[in-house]
Amino acid sequence: MEALNQSVVSDEQLAAEARREGSDGLAFVELLNRYRDRVWRICYRLLGNEHDAQDAAQEVFVRLFTSRHKFAGRSKYSTWVHGVAIRTCLMLRRGRGRRQRRVALAAEETLESSETSARPTTGDLSLDLDRMLSNLSEEDRALLILKYGEDYNYDELAEIFNLSVSACKMRISRARERLNQLFPDQAL
């Protein structure tokens, strides 16, 4: 516990302390405080709405707490946390995916049928990034969000997704290529 009294304690030191302490330990509470906003932001970007992001972030922290003994220190703690967040969000998205696709298609059909004005020209068209990313697989979507939205490097992404660095680069390249094919008028 002495390490917690120091002014600057690394995440990895806190994780080691959290592993040793009980359910009401200060180390895990400090880790929660440090990662609360980042985890929520990742969940929001992957799930697309505030309510689902809040539920997912809570689930992520429950998983982090119950599996705190599994962090082995082979990577940075932040990489491990973000991996848990991504896997949790992907699991939740897959679970709700079919239902949301049906609702989205119904809403899109309603919107298209109610449009009375002419469609804007290509130059005026502003596509929603979420809609563009929805054309990708869940993992490719997550890869692009973390690479370009959260500034992860290829080494970190490879570790989170259990890929080689070259496989990670290839998946990101192919995902961007797919988006460029589907949305040629948008600069990606």
- Which of 52, 80, 56 has the alpha carbon at shortest distance from 67? 80
CA–CA separation, 51 and 44 (whole Å): 9
Q: How many beta carbons lie within 10 A of that of residue 145, not counting itself?
A: 20
CA–CA separation, 53 and 182 (whole Å): 27
- The upper half-sphere exposure of residue 62, i.e. CA atoms within 13 Å in the direction of its Cβ, equals 7
Where are the domains positioned within the chain?
Answer: 1-115, 125-183
**What is the model's pLDDT at position 125?**
40
Q: At what angle do helices 26-47 and 77-114 cross, to 10 degrees?
A: 30
**What is the model's pLDDT at position 124?**
37
CA–CA separation, 158 and 171 (whole Å): 10
CATH 3.30.200.20: does it fit domain 125-183?
no
Q: Which residue has the tokens 């939740």?
A: 92
- The upper half-sphere exposure of residue 185, i.e. CA atoms within 13 Å in the direction of its Cβ, equals 7
pLDDT in tens, 27-61: 999 999 999 999 999 999 888 889 999 999 999 99
Contact 28, 21 (CB under 8 A): yes
Query: Which three-class secondary structure state does DSSP give residue 90?
Result: helix
Fold type of domain 1-115: Rna Polymerase Sigma Factor; Chain: A (1.10.1740)
pLDDT in tens, 130-169: 788 888 888 999 999 889 888 889 999 998 898 999 999 9
